[in-house]
Amino acid sequence: MQLNSKLNASITAVGGYVPEHRLLNKNLEQIVDTNDEWIQSRTGIKERRILKDPSKATSFLAIQASKNLISKNNIDPLTIDMVIVATTTPDMQIAATAAYVASEIGSYNAFGYDLQAACSGFLYAMSMASGKIESGRYKKVLVVGADKMSSVIDYKDRSTCILFGDGAGAVLFESNNDGLGWQDEYFKSNGDGRESLNVKAGGSLFPATSTTISNRDHYLRQDGRKVFKTAVSAMSDASSTILKRNNLVGEDIDYLVAHQANERIIESIAKRMSLKPSKVLKNIAKYGNTTAATIPLLLYDFQNKFKRGNKIIFAAFGGGFTWGAAYYIWSK
């Protein structure tokens, strides 16, 4: 293959981690008014993983996924220049989870920061990492998507508790000049949607008080119908834009790696892109919606499926609203 002078950002290593505890649909039947058949038919979810230890937070998940990546790929953590943690459930306010993760994995030469774009966070973070690599200033950027969603879920609310789980995934970006890797991206946001999917209290608008606690305002709430409809339209439009901009059609794409929010959303996007079911990667049945961790966990679970030169479309939608799609050519 002919080399060129332009640097491209490529994923050279993948890692992942999910907690051991499995929360099955039949377990939720004992908590809220729901049942296994109803959950599976509407979401495609059979179970989700939960980090039960109250002393462990999102950083624990991120650290485990990062250590998995480092150990399995013989990476020297001191060679990592930058760590980005995409999360909507950081350990705490002010102190960046990424800074703690970098220290705990031994990346003492790296700087780190958190990126919050809800379920779109990991996709956005990959864009940030790609830009840093393509600038030539950084050689290795670790991108982690991690969320302990169980910390913000009201297990009395059947509209949300059936959907979310805990987990983390990580990828390492490095440069190449063979034209593979990160190709193009199309991202959007619309603040009009923030009332439809949020955790109302805990920020500067509604600081924690006895009232916000008694009102259960520190739990995630969503307008499910609006989120579903908007997610399908937004991710489909973004993916179509990427295809057109790169002179591609559905047949050219090897895999769709989409945010795992709801199986029906994923299938609707695939249908609009005219993709065969075999090209649509899914693991929502066993993990549920892990927010910023869904895309990297897909890469982790299916990493042995990808071949050099495979054309991949990434797509995500999250609170804010935030959404987008990206075109990537597998380079390993």
Question: Does residue 27 carry a catalytic annotation?
Answer: no
- Rounded CA gap, 328 and 308, in Å? 11
Q: Annotated catalytic residue: which of 8, 25, 259, 262?
A: 259
Question: Does residue 259 carry a catalytic annotation?
Answer: yes
- Three-state DSSP state, 324: strand
- Rounded CA gap, 252 and 291, in Å? 28
- Three-state DSSP state, 17: strand
Expressed in angstroms, the distance from the first to the final Cα of the chain is 14
Q: Annotated catalytic residue: which of 8, 25, 68, 289?
A: 289
- Rounded CA gap, 195 and 37, in Å? 30
Name the β-bridge partners of 312: 255, 328
- Rounded CA gap, 321 and 286, in Å? 26
Question: Does residue 161 carry a catalytic annotation?
Answer: no
- Three-state DSSP state, 76: coil
Q: Annotated catalytic residue: which of 119, 246, 262, 283?
A: 119
- Rounded CA gap, 183 and 66, in Å? 25
Contact residues for 40 (Cβ-Cβ < 8 A; gap 6+):
25, 46
Q: Which residues are tagged catalytic?
A: 119, 259, 289
